[in-house]
Structure 1
């Protein structure tokens, strides 16, 4: 468990405070605090309610006809951790423009409410810092950025590091305490702010430019629903865009055995308002309309061949509304409930479908679709950073500007000699793949050592100089110390998990070597005991001319050595005496082994064990002295036979 990366998550029994929270995909969350030490709790609540009313006013001014992709901006007054705040979240789906619209509205309100501190973040975290990545201070990385980025008085402010300058993430309470106690300590970085808010340059004009109007042939009932509430277009398009086999079956009466709510008939020409994202989603779908939808599409194309594309979009839109109402997956959505109420009114007679005269009085608008046009050759030039040469290569100028901005940032990063994959905050040393860059590390690369050794073989031989033993000892000591220091430094740079693994391996190896040492020591002690035993009985004395004390024994004229000799016949001879007779190794070995065996007094001993291992069994030595010479002779003969 030691090699598992550490994090701040606390398990049960360690102060567990809930599982880590993470926003779903395509969701932006925003929080508004009123921070003023002079205001009471009631006054703070009133200021937040005033903020809500100001937001409604701003929405009426700029968002009268705006269509949200999924969710609208909403701020709810809540109380958490003893504080009043405004809090909300919006699922913007595929429309990133919705997310930046929220940033624009809240930032505009921060000019009016100078005591309002606003935090906005999404699935990626502090996405405003991602936009301003080129101008971030080096210490401001994603690991420490949480709760440090705030909007106040139309400015983007960053909470700096603490007094000790140790990068670490902040908790919400810590951030609010810093803002309350030392609001002037927050950093305002104009360059970073300009990068972070560059997408807001076209606002509020960009709000209206995000809309697209198209005149389509729709069934009368579908036209009536969209006329009553144009914002229904978003869930309708999404239902078609995310259709599944169940949805396709439900819009075919022959398979579902149900009646269509919005049959593709009684078509009328009406103007429909989309967002650019919604219109592109319908236009880009390849769909073979089944059953009655395919028949209706063929009829529409026959009536107006030049409007085949608009007829396809109209059929997709009508089928999407049918899927939205028929599929139980969407039954809990608010637009579905509202549309069902409108249908009930039609069925009860409380409402009627519009006549042709009514529809003729509806405003019609057809917007240019040039924003969909892109010259891909010019697009490639923009990606290469060369810039396009055709002024009309991009129908959507804002998309072209965003593309240019992205390429400029990428090129700036690539041309920055100080930039690297570690980004602003740097990586842990162990995260770097620099095995071939031994010069930047504090340990040597084995590959480099091999290369150095190869290169040294090509060098001319160097004249060797004599060195004293003392110098060699000093040199070897330095080498051993340097190796130890290098190994220690290398070990200290490892992660805790790796250190634990190496420590366990070293401990196991030490125990194994200690066991080997114990076995070796036992063998050495046994060898010493056997050697002492053999020496005590002259078993290791291979010189037949020497006795138990290493004394030389005289031989008779026939050259036969006496088993016993008188003391006066013993003459000491020097070991280096070259005048002695040749040794009879076999006889001397047998005699010494017999003496050693005799010393065992019938018990187990080294001589008997050694000979037994060779298959030789000594005779019993129980006879008296006169019989010993015969026994010795029989033993000599037996030993000579064994040698043959």
Structure 2
């Protein structure tokens, strides 16, 4: 039985535990202090200083920041006789949280030059995914584990050694390499530039990720969000991931429990979201049950914008779900909100008055980043570009423009093959670094000059090929093939441009038709394969029984009679062949003799099979005898079945016919 390749060593093969895998939407980061001059206590003090520096950064940049789920946190632990900092953050649907962590750790690496930082998520070394187009050929996902580190604001990669087999490193091996040979980890400027491309807008991007909106909320909800604006994240998550139980908890009559946040006594307050949280609320289609539907209608009738009123109702319902559902009872925000409600009930705290609420700052941010001009979007897809910030936010537009540029550069590369169509292996999956000298960790700064020489060589090769094509001969055929390929590519470009001008509905229709056609072709192909397999099985079965063996090689001499085992029959057969030779046909070439031999063999095979079938009847009626009687042929009894003479043990007696 074949087991999945999950790097698991079974018992008896050096089992070292089950492979660990991070949950989805989780990023993990570890920090080591590597300095052979420091003692164990000094390393611990350096790690604690790293923690304090991180807290300083948080206070400086994250005063109003809202984490989607978990915030960045570092815990001082001791593993394998070494002190280190380890943290894990669930960033949910907000990828911006993950890159904020990368930004903080990279900035701290400038201050702590002896800190070596590794950060990865459920996809593995996601920094390399960002720089996939600039990676060296040997650096693929199968060997990248524990090779990517951040140190002194740089991205460093541990290359393969001269005699090292391609494969991932263990954490202990990577740390030993850094300690013993600190110059071995290489700095690849192009890889670093692509890997940290998303950090170009930081720290300004931290504030740009926030969105403020003034909403009508119940006074209790407004009071709690004013105390801690970060509660909006679990509130939105409770509403966004609601289930039938959550919806039932919104109705006091069905749940038999009074509402902690009834939809009444609404006040206008400014709520701070992240862009992801606000988009999640705004994009949800929801029909509120009673009494929430009546409250929404009342807000709209009072002159509140319908969109703002709907979002406010969703926030209030989300907070009710959060404190009522047992699924969220153990979470820290739920426990804290429950304590605040208890303070209100006991009188230790009071709800804010209208005068107090009027003093709270109100802010409404522009929601233009939610609007998408699909015509401009299609222009971006075509690589034509449009006006500045024509759709979505700036970062999304920049990412799309970068993706289109890479796609167009791939199409313009005449040397790039369609690996998925012709079955050619991906160069990333090819181990072409068998030469130990080429795999050595040389200075990467020379890579650009070497690449320039390679490019010049390619250009010269193209010129040579072009000049030889002009001379005609066999090269002319290759030139015609290139022209045909160029024509096919031009046809593809025209079809692609035409497709991009279609509307979204027409694109969806064509896509569905293409999918149905592909499925039909796959089904037809599977049916043809089944018929082919069945035909091969039937043919093998017939051959095993000799039914299709029309040309066997009998153990007899050429010219021997068909029915004879005696000398008379042999002579008769020989005479017939001599008569044929006398007429002039016997002097032909060997091929004619082989044809005659094949003809005699087929006759012999037919007669032999008929005799065996007749013998199998054992004197009884059967198909062979009946068939021959219809043709007027009467078979004698087989010589082997003649009745032996009485008292004769040698079998010389004659039986009756």
Q: Provide the secondary structure at the position in 2 that maps to 1:347.
A: helix
**1:36–1:414 Cα change, 3 Å:** farther
How much does 1:612 deviate? 8.4
| Equivalence for 1:298 | 297
Note closer, same or farther for the CA distance 1:298–1:128 as it changes in structure 2 (3 Å cut): same
Task: Report the Cα distance in structure 2 between the residues aligned to 1:360 and 1:7, rounded to whole angstroms.
Answer: 60
Match of 1:229? 228
Match of 2:399 among 397, 402, 417: 402
Offset of 1:85 from its aligned partner? Answer: 0.4
Is the CA contact 1:30–1:119 (under 8 Å) kept in the aligned structure 2?
yes
Partners of 1:107 and 1:7 lie apart in 2 by 31
Once the two structures are superposed, residues 274-300 of structure 1 have per-residue CA deviations (whole angstroms, 9 ceiling, x without a partner) of 000000000000101110100000000
Structure 1 residues 415 and 150: alpha-carbon distance in aligned structure 2, compared to 1, 3 A threshold: farther
> C-alpha displacement at 1:386, in angstroms?
2.1
* Aligned residue in 2 for 1:316: 314
Indicate the residue corresponding to 2:266 in structure 1.
Answer: 267
Pair 616,291 (structure 1): closer, same or farther in 2 beyond 3 Å: same
2:197 and 2:172 mapped to 1: Cα distance? 30
Shift of 1:354: 0.3
CA distance, structure 2, for counterparts of residue 376 and residue 128 of structure 1? 31
Q: What are the within-5 Å matches in structure 2 for residues 456-495 of structure 1?
A: none
Deviations along 1:448-482, one digit per CA (max 9) or x if unpaired, are xxxxxxxxxxxxxxxxxxxxxxxxxxxxxxxxxxx
> Are 1:118 and 1:151, in contact at CA under 8 Å, matched by a contact in 2?
yes
Superposed counterparts of 1:106-505, under 5 Å: 106-164=105-163, 166-304=165-303, 307-388=305-386, 390-416=387-413, 417-418=415-416, 420=419, 422-427=425-430
Deviating above 6 A after TM superposition, structure 1's stretches of 4 or more consecutive aligned residues are none
Which aligned pairs between 1:42-53 and structure 2 lie closer than 5 A? 42-53=41-52
Give the distance between the partners of 2:51 and 2:284, measured in 1 at CA: 39
- Aligned equivalents of 2:319 and 2:566: distance in 1? 113
Please, what TM-score do these two structures have when normalized by structure 2? 0.66
Q: How far apart are 1:235 and its partner, in Å? A: 0.1
Which of residues 643, 649, 652 in structure 2 aligns to 1:616?
A: 643
Structure 1 residues 391 and 283, CA, compared in 2 at 3 Å: closer, same or farther?
A: same
Post-superposition shift, 1:406? 2.1
Over residues 97-142 of structure 1, what are the superposed CA-to-partner deviations in whole Å (9 max), with x where a residue is unaligned? Answer: 0000000000000000000000000111000001011111111100
Q: Secondary structure at the match of 1:185?
A: coil
Tell me how far 1:5 sits from its aligned partner. Answer: 6.4
Alpha-carbon shift at residue 13 of structure 1 (Å): 3.0
Instruction: Tell me how far apart the structure 1 counterparts of residues 308 and 326 of structure 2 sit (CA, whole Å).
Output: 29
Q: Report if aligned partners of 1:247, 1:323 keep a CA contact under 8 Å in 2.
A: yes
Look up the SS of the partner of 2:217 in the other structure: strand
Q: 1:257: Cα distance to partner?
A: 1.6
How far apart in 2 are the matches of 1:392 and 1:18?
51
Task: Find the residue that maps to 1:281 and give its secondary structure.
Answer: helix
Measure the CA separation in 1 of the matches of 2:426 and 2:277.
36
RMSD: 2.7
CA distance in 2, matches of 1:111, 1:356: 49
Give the whole-Å Cα distance in 2 for the aligned partners of 1:252 and 1:200: 46
How far the C-alpha of 1:403 sits from its partner, in A, is 1.2
Matched, 1:57 2:56: yes
Give me the whole-angstrom Cα distance separating, in 1, the residues matched to 2:145 and 2:431.
20
Alpha-carbon displacement from aligned partner over 1:471-516 (angstroms, at most 9, x marks no partner): xxxxxxxxxxxxxxxxxxxxxxxxxxxxxxxxxxxxxxxxxx9xxx
Cα displacement (A) at 1:92: 0.4
**CA-CA distance at 1:375 after TM superposition:** 0.5
User: Matched residues in 1 for 2:157 and 2:247: separation?
Assistant: 51
Structure 1, unaligned runs of 5 or more: 430-512, 514-523, 528-539, 544-609, 623-631
State whether residues 214 and 271 of structure 2, in contact with CA within 8 Å, keep that contact through their aligned partners in structure 1.
Answer: yes
Deviations 1:242-292 (CA, angstroms, capped at 9, x unpaired): 000000001011211211000000000100000000000000001011101
Task: Give the C-alpha shift of residue 10 in structure 1.
Answer: 1.2
Contact 2:157 2:186 in 1 (8 A): yes
Instruction: Please give the per-residue CA displacement for 1:71-110, whole angstroms capped at 9, x wherever unaligned.
Output: 0000000011111000011000000000000000000000
Give, in whole Å, the separation in 2 of the partners of 1:329 and 1:355: 33
- Counterpart in 1 of 2:436? none
Give the superposition deviation at 1:414: 4.2
> How far off its partner does 1:394 sit?
1.7
Q: CA deviation at 1:621?
A: 5.9
Q: Give the paired residue count.
A: 456
Contact 1:218 1:270 in 2 (8 A): yes
Partner of 1:553: none
